[in-house]
Amino acid sequence: MDIFSALLDPELGCVSFTVERITYRLSRGETVPSSHTLSASGCIHPGTPEMAQLLPEEEKNREFIAVYTSAMLSRGENFGGTTFTAPDRIHYRDRVWRVVRVRKWHAFNYCQALAVLTESAVRK
């Protein structure tokens, strides 16, 4: 089965969403953020009780979604030195979700992420 075509199938729940990635750079003693967004598509579904067991302990009581997409999502990276990225934020249905877990299958150009609802849940 071609996973990529299944991810783009509207009958299986394919939707469009926006991914916001914020990178921070230390410059002259200050942390300077820069943000860029990208459009993505894939299947987004409510998380299941079984998936909740995969969440970090401090996130287990929060509302969350499962995202299946070809966009390579990130839960943040520290490159060492002066640059790091925050976890990706998914803007979907006027709510903002923070990526907390990612499983990537590069061979299939496929990514599964779990994302929790943020405190500032309404997109501005």
* pLDDT for the residue 3: 65
What CATH number did the domain enclosing 60 receive?
2.40.10
For the chain, how many structural domains are there in total? Answer: 1
107 has pLDDT over 60:
yes
Tokens of 102: 């990612």
What domain range is 111 assigned to?
3-122
**Burial letters for 39-72: b for 16+ Cβ neighbours within 10 Å, e otherwise?**
ebebbbeebeeebeebbeeebeebebbbbbbebe
Q: Which two tokens stand for residue 65?
A: 């979604």
Per-residue model confidence as pLDDT tens digits over 4-56: 676 677 777 789 999 999 999 888 888 899 999 999 999 999 999 999 999 88
Q: Structure pTM?
A: 0.84
The residue assigned the tokens 């916001």 is 20
In angstroms, rounded to a whole number, what is the distance separating the alpha carbons of residues 119 and 97? 9
Q: Distance between CA 45 and CA 56 in Å, rounded? A: 19
